[in-house]
Amino acid sequence: MKAVQLQAFGNPADVVKLTDVPDVGAPGPNEVVIATDASPINGTDFSIIGGRYGYLPPLPSILGVEGIGRVAAVGRDVKHLKEGDRALIPVLHPAWAERIKTDAPWLRPLPNGDVQQLSMLGINPATAYLLLTDIVPLKSGDWVMQNGANSAVGRAVIVIARSLGLKTVNVVRREELVEEIKALGGDVVLVEGPELPKRVAATTGKAKIGFALDMVGDTATANLMNAAAPDATIVVYAASSQKPLVGSALQLVFNNQSIRGFWLVTWFKTAKPDKIVAMYDHLASMVASGAISAPVAATYRFDKVSEGLALAARRGGKVILTP
């Protein structure tokens, strides 16, 4: 079968190739075979290709960290899926192949909906959901602040927060994004820059912001800390600037703030199957209804993966790969 394979760590144009690999074969008793429909190119894929992710596969390795497909075959003991069901490809299971085989017991049939949007369900909406529900207790009316609000995670945070009765302060880097993020449901949308903490205080009526989400790093982290209240928690879940975070040690000490990290992969290591099922059931309906969505820039077949990677590297919307 055809698969997109990483042959060495380095420049995507040099190390990512479409190749023939052995077929996955028939499923074992507790396994299913899924024929891939679509898989997005994520920042995680670039981090793996460049050799700088928290998990690096042995080489050569099939790429892709999430996706969606149709169940093509099921093992004799499988009860949670049947042939023809549409299902997720589990997070970090190599997805850029015509077929994959998995024994993930938490997979369930997905509702009807846009295949491209559902292919992006696995990582970003799940990250947004867990950031808001699994780290600190939040109640209706609380404020959450985030930078990178235009990202796929940031967009999902806005929608999920609103469904939970939370209010959001959303920081973007370009003025032209302000109205778009407001239209998604962002309560306050501001452009990153000088005096950001003062602008946050002015637009929220000096609301207490006890929880903030950082996907940028660098000085953007300091802006979140300065806008957040004493005792606030700042969660770092990405570093799009690719620079070390900047913040005040004295502020952490005297304001009793805390900074911690979050990685979806770590959560999966201890999460019980019923909890994973409940999360994805909740999120799948939101994606299928269109409530959670991310802009798609283009779709490329596997044999055009080089063009897809080049476009995805320039950003401005997700690129989806199909067999």
Question: Greatest CA separation found in the chain?
Answer: 62
Q: What is the pLDDT of residue 193?
A: 87
User: What digits encode the pLDDT tens for the residues 243-300?
Assistant: 999 998 998 999 999 999 999 999 999 999 999 999 999 999 999 999 999 999 999 9
Do 24 and 118 sit in the same domain of this protein? yes
Amino acid (one-letter) located at 78 = V
Q: Please identify, among 239, 261, 283, the residue that sits at the C-terminal boundary of a domain.
A: 261
Q: What is the pLDDT of residue 194?
A: 83
Tell me, rounded to whole angstroms, the distance of Cα 125 from its chain centroid. 6
The mean predicted confidence, pLDDT, of the chain is 96
Do 177 and 118 sit in the same domain of this protein? no
Q: Is 53 one of the catalytic residues?
A: yes
Does the pTM surpass 0.85? The reply is: yes
Q: Is the pLDDT of residue 155 over 80?
A: yes
Helices (H), the chain: 12-15, 43-49, 115-119, 124-133, 152-163, 178-184, 196-204, 219-227, 249-254, 264-270, 273-289, 305-314
In a domain, 201, yes or no: yes
Do 141 and 67 sit in the same domain of this protein? no
User: What digits encode the pLDDT tens for the residues 190-247?
Assistant: 999 889 999 999 999 999 999 999 999 999 999 999 999 999 999 999 988 889 999 9
Do 46 and 112 sit in the same domain of this protein? yes
Domain of 193, CATH number, reads: 3.40.50.720
Do 166 and 238 sit in the same domain of this protein? yes
In a domain, 128, yes or no: no
d(CA 198, CA 190): 11
In a domain, 131, yes or no: no
Q: Distance between terminal CA atoms of the chain? A: 10
User: What digits encode the pLDDT tens for the residues 47-103?
Assistant: 999 999 998 999 999 999 999 999 999 999 999 999 999 999 999 999 999 999 999
- Burial of 131-154, coded b for 16+ CB within 10 Å and e otherwise, reads bbeeebebeeebbbbbbbbbbbbb
Domain of 66, CATH number, reads: 3.90.180.10
User: What digits encode the pLDDT tens for the residues 162-187?
Assistant: 999 999 999 999 999 999 999 999 99
d(CA 38, CA 66): 9
| Average pLDDT, integer, range 153-157 | 97
Q: What is the pLDDT of residue 312?
A: 95
In a domain, 52, yes or no: yes
Domain that holds residue 220: 136-261
Bridge-partner residues for 68, per DSSP? 38, 88
Q: Please identify, among 238, 261, 284, the residue that sits at the C-terminal boundary of a domain.
A: 261
Q: What is the pLDDT of residue 188?
A: 97
Could you tell me which residue, 37 or 314, shows the higher pLDDT? 37
In a domain, 130, yes or no: no
d(CA 172, CA 264): 23
Q: Is the peptide bond before 60 cis (omega within 30 degrees of 0)?
A: yes
In a domain, 129, yes or no: no
Number of domains in the chain: 2
Do 147 and 242 sit in the same domain of this protein? yes
Q: Is the pLDDT of residue 316 over 90?
A: no
Q: Please identify, among 244, 261, 278, the residue that sits at the C-terminal boundary of a domain.
A: 261
User: What digits encode the pLDDT tens for the residues 94-127?
Assistant: 999 999 999 999 999 999 999 999 999 999 999 9
From 53, 129, 237, 280, active-site residue: 53
Positive/negative CA dihedral, 237, 240, 243, 245: negative
Do 163 and 145 sit in the same domain of this protein? yes
